[in-house]
Amino acid sequence: MTIELPALPWPKDSLAPHISVETLDYHHGKHHQAYVTNLNKLIAGTPQENASLEEIVKNSSGGIFNNAAQVWNHTFYWNSMKPGGGGEPTGAIADAINASFGSYAAVLEQFVAAATTQFGSGWAWLVKSGDKLEIVKTGNAETPLTTDKKPLLTIDVWEHAYYVDYRNARPKYIDTFLDSLINWDFANANLAG
């Protein structure tokens, strides 16, 4: 089946001033679209042409994996943010964070450290591993989807995610993501799913 670029889950101007329309024009309209276009070219005429995106990510390597994982990771990232997001979690995810990390402050510290220290391009994730929540980071297109850990939330720390709005100030982008954008409803839905 043809892999489609999903629409953004909120209006393109609704994350401003934290994430600008210009960033999203490039990040969703060009980068995410390019991964979709490349993936469709690479799987055309192969057995993976009829597989779901998740199946392709879990059963591929090389260029097919890189493009498929980036398609999946970006869709997950858009849903990890919302207009008016940010701040402390509520509901089951708040209880799970307290049980696994001890406090919201402690999970924040680990998340910021992972997102800041991911050298070069990659991602930081909140995941469920067995009965516990963990923070992990992945390089380039790597994704917890290929492991036994269940992704709950992610932040894209490729430069293309923040360079237009924050230039080289990755820590400021990470702080803004946590203060004003992070979508705990999505984490709660993934935890329950």
CA–CA distance, 45 with 112 (Å, rounded to integer): 42
Q: At what angle do helices 92-101 and 104-117 cross, to 10 degrees?
A: 80
Q: Identify residue 87 by its one-letter amino acid code.
A: G
Using CB under 5 A, count the residues that bind Fe ion: 3
**Closest to 88 measured CA to CA, from 104, 100, 112:** 104
Contact with Fe ion (CB under 5 A) among 156, 166, 182, 187 = 156
The values of phi and psi at residue 77, to 5°, are -65, -45
Q: What is the distance between the alpha carbons of residues 113 and 59, in angstroms, rounded to a whole number?
A: 30
Tell me whether residue 158 or residue 173 sits nearer to Fe ion (CB atom).
Answer: 158
What's the CA gap between 181 and 86, in Å, rounded?
A: 5
**Residue among 158, 166, 173, 177 that touches Fe ion (CB under 5 A):** 158
Decide whether 77 or 186 has the Cβ nearer to Fe ion.
77
CB of 129 to Fe ion, least distance (A): 24
Only one of the segments 99-107, 122-130, 158-166, 171-179 lies at the binding site for Fe ion (rule: CB under 5 A); that segment is 158-166
**Min dist. Cβ of residue 73 to Fe ion (A):** 8
Nearer to Fe ion, 78 or 101 (CB): 78
Task: Name the site residues for Fe ion (rule: CB under 5 A).
Answer: 156, 158, 161
